[in-house]
């Protein structure tokens, strides 16, 4: 028997992707104004994008009702 996992809604996925794209667009706008960019700044942007993309899992888990406790 295969286990079914609950997938995030399409609206939630779209919102997370939009947020990640906004982070990328803002960072690119700042970076295009400069000649040099440190590796630390690039790492920060990548971490921001990763955080935005993993938000789906956190939101999904936090909205699940608690499991019933045996009496």
pLDDT tens, residue by residue, 4-56: 556 668 888 888 889 889 999 999 999 899 889 899 999 999 999 999 888 76
Closest listed residue to residue 64, CA positions, set 16, 24, 5 = 5
Q: How far apart are CA 2 and CA 46, in angstroms?
A: 35
pLDDT value at 69 more than 90: no
pLDDT number for residue 53 = 86
C-alpha distance from residue 66 to each of 61, 63, 71 (Å): 10, 9, 15
pTM: predicted TM-score of the whole model, two decimal places: 0.59
Contact 15, 44 (CB under 8 A): no
pLDDT value at 58 more than 60: no
pLDDT number for residue 11 = 86
């Amino acid at each position: 028997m295969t286990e079914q996992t609950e997938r995030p809604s399409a609206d939630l996925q779209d919102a997370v992707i939009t947020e990640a794209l906004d982070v990328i667009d803002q960072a690119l706008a700042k970076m295009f104004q400069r000649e040099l960019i440190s590796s630390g700044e690039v790492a920060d942007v990548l971490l921001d994008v990763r955080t935005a993309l993993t938000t789906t899992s956190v939101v999904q888990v936090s909205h699940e009702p608690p499991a019933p406790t045996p009496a």
